[in-house]
Amino acid sequence: MPVLETLAARRLVASPAALDAAQWSEGTLVLRVAADEALLIGGTEMELADEHAIVVAETGFKGAWLGREELVDRVVPHMEWPLPAARPVFVQGLIAGVPAKLWLAEDRSLLLCAAAYAHELADRLR
């Protein structure tokens, strides 16, 4: 199992409409964790029409990039919910009983969770 490492990210809370219309610089991976919240990995610029938005640097998540086989062999057996067929797609739920998130692309996936849970997730996926 790859080591879960701290993700340098930004966290953003804004109105859902503003998030829907936001523009992100190239290379930004936008994980929409809630209607009013996004986790941004990579990228530096954004256009957001919400003057009261909360934007903070975020180091409270840890993650690991997985190949397709690692996902199927190491992670999926610990999930009680089916993965959607669409790609790319972002999903959230319990993995091995730990609150976690998955961003699934065609050829790779990002598994992430709050840093406070990372030891449990890594231990349970070992």
Partner 1 sequence: MTAARRIVLDGQPLVYQPGDTVAVAVIRSGGHPAHGGTICLAGDCANCLAEVDGVAYVRTCQTAARPGLVVRRHPTASAPPLRDAQQTDMANRPPGRYVPVLRTEADLVVIGGGDSGAAATESGERAGRKVTLLDAQAGIEVVAIYAGPTVIARTAEGMAHIHAREIIVATGAAELQAVCPGNTLAGLVTRRAAQELHARGVDLGVTVAIGSAPQGVPCTSLAGSLRRIEGEGRVSAVITTDAEGRAESSTPCDTLVLGLGHSPRDALARMSDDLPVSVVGPAAAAHALPAAPRSGVVCPCMGIDVEDLADVWQRGFHDLELVKRASLAGTGTCQGSVCLPHVRAFIAERSGQTPEPFTARPASRQITLAEAAAGFHPDPFRRTALHDEHVALGARMDRFGGWWRPWHYGDHIAEYWAVREGVSLGDVSTLGKLVVSGPDAVEFLERLYPMNVADIRVGRSRYALLLNERGHLIDDGMVVRQAETRFVLTFTSAGAGHAEMWARDWAETWRMRVHVLDRTMSLGAINVTGPLAGRLLERVGLPTLPRFLEHVEADICGVPCHVMRLSFTGEVSFELHHAVDRSIELWRALMAEGRDLGISPHGLQALQGLRLEKGHVIVGMDSELDSTPRRLGMEWAVRMDKPEFVGRPALERTAQLAENRRLVGLTMPGRAPLEGSPIWSEEQIVGHVSSSFASPLLGQAVMLGWLKRLPLPQSIEVDGRAASLSQPPFYDPEGSRARA
Residues that bind partner 1 (CB under 8 A): 6, 11, 13-15, 36-37, 52-54, 56-60, 77-78, 80, 94, 96-99, 114-117, 119-121, 123-124
* Least gap, CB of 123 to partner 1 (angstroms): 7
Quote the radius of gyration of the chain (alpha carbons, Å): 15
Instruction: Report the distance separating Cα 100 and Cα 118, nearest Å.
Output: 9
Nearest Cα to Cα of residue 20 among 56, 48, 45: 48
Closest CB to partner 1 among residues 89, 116: 116
* Least gap, CB of 97 to partner 1 (angstroms): 2
Closest CB to partner 1 among residues 58, 108: 58
Question: Quick check: bond before 88 cis, omega within 30?
Answer: yes
* Least gap, CB of 82 to partner 1 (angstroms): 10
Instruction: Report the distance separating Cα 2 and Cα 61, nearest Å.
Output: 15
How many beta carbons lie within 10 A of that of residue 74, not counting itself? Answer: 17
Closest CB to partner 1 among residues 26, 80: 80
Nearest Cα to Cα of residue 61 among 19, 96, 100: 100
Closest CB to partner 1 among residues 36, 90: 36
* Least gap, CB of 26 to partner 1 (angstroms): 26
